[in-house]
Chain A
């Protein structure tokens, strides 16, 4: 089931690994177990597959923190829950800055772990949902002609039709036609819709 999220557990301690496995499965989550970062890198999950990471900050070969930064470089954007046997403040700060969802000290309460994983999965889902919307906008934007894109950008920047016509050396009538076409192609019912879309696409006048 491609949509079912997977909790990827990376810990060199087999006891911890299997314990977490059983805990997550008891709540109906699917799990992936890895005893090292290397093992995880060898068979990384598909970027499309939803899920999150649960890993110890101290792992043989590469620390969990370093690993997290490395993943970001590689474009794997699974949210992570970090565990530590002896968490300290600098390490927690670094973890949170690198985008960790939570930082749990062993031994943790099961509910805390489940909450953290739920939050991570929610963040993953949100990110994925957001990414889906922008993808659609991009696809619609791709159907616009270059002139329509120029007009859309200037309109979204708040210019009047007359100003746009002056900027682009066009007649006001032509601007109105391009604007109408762009709104239709983008599926924008109002000017406000179009402005939001331009913002989401990070569109700026040239």
Chain B
């Protein structure tokens, strides 16, 4: 029984007890809390006194045997309610003794005269035994019942406690009349108190956030007065400074005025998550609305079903299919609808009216950019997270511009058939790049012209040779004709040579004009060795005039390069002229220029070496800087231009000193793909 009662304390969500029940249980609890031997002593003392008193009263009143027996029976029943079967049996025997001694003739003896009396005594004993046994059985049944209930309650309480922990929810009870408060474990945890302390409004007030005190108090007062249900959120300020957001729901207990039951929920985490979600949504909307990029939300459902139909029809390679059926791509574009766009999109694509942009996508997509749309669809279908490419897009007015198009395929939105795409106007950048290319071309041209200037003497001499030959041949021809017997044979030979020399002069001039030409670079598949040959032809005379011996070591079977012929020649000529000029300052030893071509891994490599004085150590790092020059009349543009040409062609250029003396310039180029 003690354990059974103790179990009650575990019950946390049982209904609140009525006042009478409470008093009874308090008594029982007090009785059960007395040690057993003391309790037995008290019981037996009490039983002896009770039996004594009944005996004295009955005897004094002169009651007959039957009446006295009833009185004794009542006492025994009352005693057997208080303790065990054994005690009850002992009291029954004492009671029989008393009856026999005081009320059965002969009086004041334990003997029995009449058989009738013996029968009555036996009946009394039997009755008292039966009653005590019955009471014992009933008590045992009650014990079992209570034990079962306790076990069930224990389990339920454990589940409930766990569930409350999980839900971050606790329960409470409040008797507004008595001020008594009951908290579940979780409620204790929410308020941050040890389960040992006794809950009170003061404890709660300590925790309520100062900012919510005003909000909390009237509700408590109103709840106490008006008995209305309450449902509100408030904050707790914990001793460590943490703030908890708590949701409280309470309602009056039906049939028990002034008493409330309620639930507490720690919603701090949920609140934070909600807040973050709201902020995220807010940020997204802000980005969508206010970013300088143009954003589009597209409905892709119809286009998606077209894709599924294609797959159902057996199309496996979408790329090939789209390439073969450009019409399909166009149809899918028509089936892609614009749901929403931001202001930037209106500014970029529209005429100030957002509504007119909410139409199918094909209006904004020039035919020339079809392949970009197709590629983005394929990227989405093949599970790529995003796609980006530069292409031409079209405004509502039909103006086309260079755009960077990006599409994001978030699985959630794709599942909804929605796509988010972004467009950035890169026409300025494209224009700037175009400008840069033009400036580079101009500079390359300027450098070529400057280089030609340095070669003027050599070029003039080279042109002069055929011209001198032509002039001499012509006058010799006239002399042969003027002779008494004109030598026609000689004149024919001379005329043939004049024609050949004129062609030769023309070739030289064409070569120079090519070098001096100002035109946009044009990539073609070129033989690297061919370019080196042409460049050295250009330089042969200069090399000869400067007494430079040229060695060409060209690797056979090199793959072609994709390059602009003139620019590549310019690089070779420039590097060779630099070498020749360096060697001219390099003293008396035999001047040697070597040009090698070879394969170097994936790249083609050209090495131009001289045996001049080499490059001063502090110049090595600055050689390719603009306006850095060691020549008296140099502009410092030659090498920077060489580098920009080589890098534009996807290669690298570097300079170093050779161990055996002299400088080496090395450049690489990728083979044409």
- Min CB distance B399 to A, Å, is 59
Report how far A188 CA is from B504 CA in the complex, Å.
65
Minimum CB–CB distance for A83 against chain B, Å? 8
Segment from B447-455, B460-468, B614-622, B645-653 that makes contact with A: B460-468
A44 at the interface (CB under 8 A from B): no
Report A-chain residues with C-beta under 8 Å of the C-beta of B493.
22
Q: Is the CB of A110 within 8 A of B464?
A: no
A23 at the interface (CB under 8 A from B): yes
B85 at the interface (CB under 8 A from A): no
- Give the tally of cross-chain contacts (CB within 8 A): 82
When distances are taken between beta carbons in the complex, the residues of chain B under 8 Å from A110 are 471-472, 475-476, 479
With A13-B469, A15-B465, A26-B490 already in contact, the answer to whether A85 and B476 are too (CB < 8 A) is no
- A86 and B476 contacting across the interface, CB-CB below 8 Å: no
A residues near B494, Cβ cutoff 8 Å: 19, 22
Does A60 reach chain B (CB closer than 8 Å)? yes
The residue of chain A having its C-beta at the shortest distance from the C-beta of B464 within the complex is A85
In the complex, what residues of B have CB within 8 A of residue A125's CB? none
Q: Which of A15, A26, A83, A108 contacts B476, CB < 8 Å?
A: A26
Nearest CB of B to A23, in Å:
4
A113 within 8 A of B: yes
Residue A46, interface by CB 8 Å = no
Once the chains bind, are A22 and B469 in contact (CB under 8 Å)? Answer: no
A107–B490 CB distance below 8 A:
no
Q: Which of B409-423 contact A (CB under 8 A)?
A: none
Nearest CB of A to B625, in Å: 34
A15 to B466, Cβ gap below 8 A? yes
Task: Please determine whether B497 and A106 come into contact, CB atoms closer than 8 angstroms.
Answer: no
Chain A residues whose C-beta falls within 8 Å of the C-beta of B457 in the assembled complex: 86
Find the A residue at minimum CB distance from B545: A58
Contacts of A85 in B (CB 8 A): 460-461, 464-465, 468
Contacts of A86 in B (CB 8 A): 457, 460-461, 464
A113 touches B472 (CB 8 A): yes
Determine whether B272 belongs to the interface, using a CB cutoff of 8 Å to chain A: no
Q: Determine if B544 is an interface residue (Cβ-Cβ < 8 Å).
A: yes
> Who on chain A is nearest to B467 by CB?
A107
Chain A residues with CB under 8 A of B479:
23, 26-27, 110
Establish whether residues A16 and B469, one from each chain, have CB atoms under 8 Å apart when the complex forms: yes
A20 CB–B CB distance under 8 Å: yes
B483 in the interface, Cβ–Cβ < 8 Å? yes
Q: Are A60 and B544 in contact (CB under 8 A)?
A: yes
Closest to A59 in B: B544
**Partner of A19 from B464, B472, B483, B544 at Cβ < 8 Å:** B472
Residue of B nearest to A13 (CB): B465
Contact A22 B473 (CB under 8 A): yes
| Choice from B466, B470, B476, B501 contacting A23 with Cβ under 8 Å | B476
- Chain A: interface residue count, which band? 20 to 34
Q: Give complex CA distance A106, B360 in Å.
A: 77
Q: Which of B475, B487, B497, B544 contacts A15 (CB 8 A)?
A: B497
Q: Determine the distance from Cα of A22 to Cα of B491 in the docked complex, in whole angstroms.
A: 9
Chain A residues within 8 Å of B477, by CB: 22
Q: Which residues of B contact A26 (CB under 8 A)?
A: 476, 479-480, 483, 487, 490
Q: Provided the pairs A58-B545, A106-B464, A107-B464 are in contact, do residues A19 and B469 lie with their beta carbons within 8 angstroms?
A: yes
Task: For residue A96, give the distance in angstroms from its CB to the closest CB of chain B.
Answer: 21
Q: CB of A145 within 8 A of chain B?
A: no
A171 CB-CB contact with B under 8 Å: no
Q: Is the CB of B501 within 8 A of A22?
A: no
Q: Which of chain B's residues has its CB closest to A85's CB? A: B461
Size bracket of the B interface: 20 to 34
Smallest CB separation, A16 vs chain B (Å): 5
A110 to B478, CA, bound (A): 11
Q: Does A18 sit within 8 A of B, measured CB to CB?
A: yes
Chain B neighbourhood of A58, CB < 8 A: 461, 544-545
Nearest CB of A to B264, in Å: 106
Say yes or no: B464 contacts A23, CB within 8 Å. Answer: no
Q: Which residue of A lies closest to B500 (CB)?
A: A15
Q: Mark A1-35, 1 if CB is under 8 A from B, else 0.
A: 00000000000010110111011011100000000
Q: Roughly how many angstroms separate A58 CA and B497 CA in the complex, as a whole number?
A: 23
**Chain A 82-123 per-residue mask, 1 if CB under 8 angstroms from chain B, else 0:** 010110000000000000000000111111010000000000
Task: Take A110-B472, A113-B472 as given contacts and tell me if A19 and B545 are in contact as well, using a CB distance cutoff of 8 Å.
Answer: no
Chain B residues, Cβ within 8 Å of A108? 468, 471-472
**Shortest distance in angstroms between A69's beta carbon and chain B's nearest beta carbon?**
17
Point out the residues of chain B lying under 8 angstroms from A27, CB to CB: 479
Q: What chain A residues lie within 8 Å of B464 (beta carbons)?
A: 85-86, 106-107
Instruction: Name which of A25, A27, A106 has the most chain B CB atoms within 10 A of its CB.
Output: A106
A60 nearest CB across to chain B (Å) = 6
Measured CB to CB, the closest approach of chain A to B133, in angstroms, equals 146
Q: By the criterion CB–CB under 8 Å, are A15 and B483 in contact?
A: no
Within 8 A of A (CB), among B390-427: none
- When distances are taken between beta carbons in the complex, the residues of chain A under 8 Å from B472 are 16, 19-20, 22-23, 107-108, 110, 113
Q: Which residues of B contact A25 (CB under 8 A)?
A: 490
Q: How far is the CB of B400 from chain A (nearest CB, A)?
A: 56
Interface contact A16-B468, CB-CB below 8 Å = yes
Which residues on B sit within 8 Å (CB–CB) of A109? 471, 475
Q: Which of B468, B501, B504 contacts A106 (CB 8 A)?
A: B468
A57 to chain B, nearest CB (A): 11
For the complex, give the distance between the alpha carbons of A25 and B489 in Å: 13
Give a binary string over B41-78; 1 marks a CB under 8 Å from any A CB, 0 the rest.
00000000000000000000000000000000000000
> For the complex, what is the distance from the CA of A3 to the CA of B545, rounded to whole Å?
37
A109-166 at interface with B (beta carbon < 8 Å): 109-111, 113
Instruction: Quote the shortest CB–CB distance from B470 to chain A (angstroms).
Output: 8
**Residue of A15, A106, A107, A108 ringed by the most chain B CB atoms within 10 A:** A15
- Using a CB-CB cutoff of 8 Å, which residues 522-556 of chain B contact chain A? 544-545
Chain A residues numbered 163-206 whose CB sits less than 8 Å from any CB in chain B: none
Interface string of B295-321 (1 = CB under 8 A from A): 000000000000000000000000000
Residue among B464, B493, B497 facing the most chain A CB atoms (10 A cut-off): B464
Instruction: Contacts A15-B465, A15-B501, A106-B465 given; indicate if A22 touches B476 (C-beta within 8 A).
Output: yes
Question: B470 to chain A: which residues have CB within 8 Å?
Answer: 19, 107
Min distance, Cβ B456 to any Cβ of chain A, angstroms: 10
CA distance A85 to B466 in the complex (A): 11
Q: Which residues of the partner chain B approach A16 to less than 8 Å between Cβ atoms? A: 465, 468-469, 472
When the two chains form their complex, are residues A22 and B490 in contact, meaning their CB atoms are under 8 A apart?
yes
Q: When chains A and B are docked, how far (Å) is the Cα of A202 from the Cα of B349? A: 108
A106-B461 Cα distance, complex, nearest whole Å:
9
Considering only residues 480-525 of chain B, those with a C-beta below 8 Å from chain A are 480, 483, 487, 490, 493-494, 497, 500-501, 504
Q: How far is the CA of A27 from the CA of B483 in the complex (A)?
A: 9
User: What's the Cα separation between A111 and B493 when bound, in Å?
Assistant: 21
- Residues from chain A with a CB closer than 8 A to the CB of B476 are 19, 22-23, 26, 110
* B120 vs chain A, min Cβ distance (A): 166
Chain B, residue nearest A104 (CB): B468
- Give the distance to chain B from A104, nearest Cβ to Cβ, in Å: 10
Residue on A nearest B472 in the bound complex, by CB: A19
Can you list 6 A-B contacts (CB < 8 A)? A16-B468, A18-B473, A18-B497, A107-B467, A108-B472, A110-B479
The 6 closest A-B pairs by CB, nearest first: A110-B475, A15-B469, A106-B468, A19-B472, A107-B468, A85-B461
Which residues on B are within 8 Å of A, measured CB to CB?
457, 460-461, 464-473, 475-477, 479-480, 483, 487, 490, 493-494, 497, 500-501, 504, 544-545
Q: A15-B465, A110-B475 are in contact. List 18 more A-B contacts (CB 8 A).
A: A15-B469, A16-B465, A19-B473, A19-B497, A20-B472, A22-B476, A22-B493, A22-B494, A23-B475, A58-B545, A86-B461, A106-B464, A106-B467, A106-B468, A107-B470, A108-B468, A110-B471, A110-B476
